[in-house]
Amino acid sequence: MNSMHPVSLFKKVLPQESWGRSVRNVAVGDRYEQRDVPVSFWVVERISQVQMSQFPLVRLSRVGYPDITKTVSLSALSEENEYRFTV
């Protein structure tokens, strides 16, 4: 019996034309402000492509606190619902 990974099956069923597309290109060094915490600024440290995901993962570090980091999906930064690009 040939078993298929659930994610592979999901990808075959749904159209993928719009997956992985971002409204704005995200680059290392870009700064983002977290919307619910207006004094919280984050800098993009690394962008990693994950084999199981259509969206790359973005590692952020907090400005002024380099030991505080978080990893979010590229789509979270592109949609600007939770994070807003700052200069």
pLDDT in tens, 20-73: 444 458 899 999 998 887 788 999 999 998 887 778 899 999 999 989 999 998
The boundaries of the domain holding residue 73 are 22-86
Does 72 reside within a domain?
A: yes
Does 50 reside within a domain?
A: yes
Q: How far is CA 72 from the centre of its chain?
A: 4
DSSP strands (E only) in the chain: 31-34, 41-48, 57-62, 65-73, 83-86
Supply the pLDDT for residue 56.
87
What is the count of structural domains for the chain? 1
Does 1 reside within a domain?
A: no
Does 53 reside within a domain?
A: yes
Does 36 reside within a domain?
A: yes
Does 34 reside within a domain?
A: yes
Does 9 reside within a domain?
A: no
